[in-house]
Amino acid sequence: MHLKWLRSFLITGASALTLVAAPTGCGDKDGGDESSSEASSTSASSEGEAGSTESSSSTTTDDSTTTDDSTTSTTSDSGFVNVDMVSEAMCDIWNFEDCGDGEKCIPYAMGGSSWDALKCIPLDDDPKLLGDECNAPLGGAGGEDDCDNGLFCYYVDSETNIGTCIAHCGGSPQAPSCGPDTVCTIVNDGVLTLCRPNCDPVVQDCEPAGSACWQATGTNGFTCIIDASGETGAYGDPCEFINSCDPGLACADAAGVPGCTGTGCCSPFCDVNEPNNCPDAAMGQTCEPYYDTPDPGYEHVGICVIPAPDVDGPELRRVQPLPETLDAPTPAR
């Protein structure tokens, strides 16, 4: 059963704080008054994404997939509890009724720039529906929006805080589901579970403004993710998040990018059926398949890397796992 951590409280005459756990959901389903508060910590240990080049709040990560038409599914264990001096209520993002009447469960950032926590918030009086323009007044990871239950305001513009209502994945972490032409991605330790459009990273055909095509974590396909590259993300730049490279580039293993000084560096997507036009072809860089067993339609997608001698595989072509974020990294000086 889902455990909800209640607020810490002071014991009379003692200086220590005590946490109380109760086997209940995020809202008071019997009509009582329970509240949650924001704390300050950040975690990202699963594949994930970033949200936008700027944000008035914090942000993101990704790890499972399935559509109504095809089922490529990877389980991401989201057994994740953030506890601070004032402990944060947590809800079940897979159970749209967990927060009770008039509330919904929403991912947000307790601190930093990646979605790392879940909480219940009141539903808007006139909630927006799937595909509607929405408002996230505290930014894409601020933990407030006016989308209906089961929906999340994503592709949020950092200047206007306007985005689009998209669906959380249905089903379960073991068997997630989404509508046609979308894919379920489960990132940031299971906090971010979104149905996002399929896309082609070679042609970069994402339509949502401020997004680009990167791998759909937990699948062998690709999806439209918020572009958080900002002033970084060019070929050879170090990368930390799945969406911190420029559109058209992905985070490749350091060994595949000459001169890379990080765990991974940005390198272009490429078409394995086309002539080798990788930037360091003279140093042995070639267009290697991005996935060993790609989803149908993605057999042509590759990434420019120097092939690993004797042993090769997707983990030696691209950095895994990676979280998602909203904020662009600060350029090196």
pTM metric for this prediction: 0.72
Q: Residue 78: CB partners within 8 Å, gap ≥ 6?
A: 93, 173, 186, 189, 190, 191
CA atoms of 68 and 92, how far apart (whole Å): 22
From the list 318, 323, 291, the residue with the least C-alpha distance to 76 is: 323
Helix (H, G, I), strand (E, B) or coil at 122: strand
- The tens-digit pLDDT sequence of the chain (333 residues) is 333 333 333 233 333 333 333 333 444 433 333 322 222 222 223 344 544 433 333 333 333 333 333 333 333 333 322 323 223 448 999 999 999 899 999 999 987 778 999 999 999 999 999 999 999 999 999 999 999 999 999 999 989 999 999 999 999 999 999 999 999 999 888 999 999 999 999 999 999 989 999 999 888 999 999 999 988 999 999 998 899 999 999 999 999 999 999 999 999 999 999 999 999 999 999 999 999 999 999 999 999 999 987 667 887 888 877 778 776 554 543
From the list 119, 112, 104, 106, the residue with the least C-alpha distance to 38 is: 119
Beta bridge partners of 23: none
* Phi, psi of 254, rounded to the nearest 5 degrees: -55, -35
From the list 45, 54, 46, the residue with the least C-alpha distance to 227 is: 54
Amino acid at 305: V
Q: How many Cβ atoms are within 10 Å of 101's Cβ, its own excluded?
A: 10
The continuous run of DSSP H or E covering 211 comes out as strand 211-216
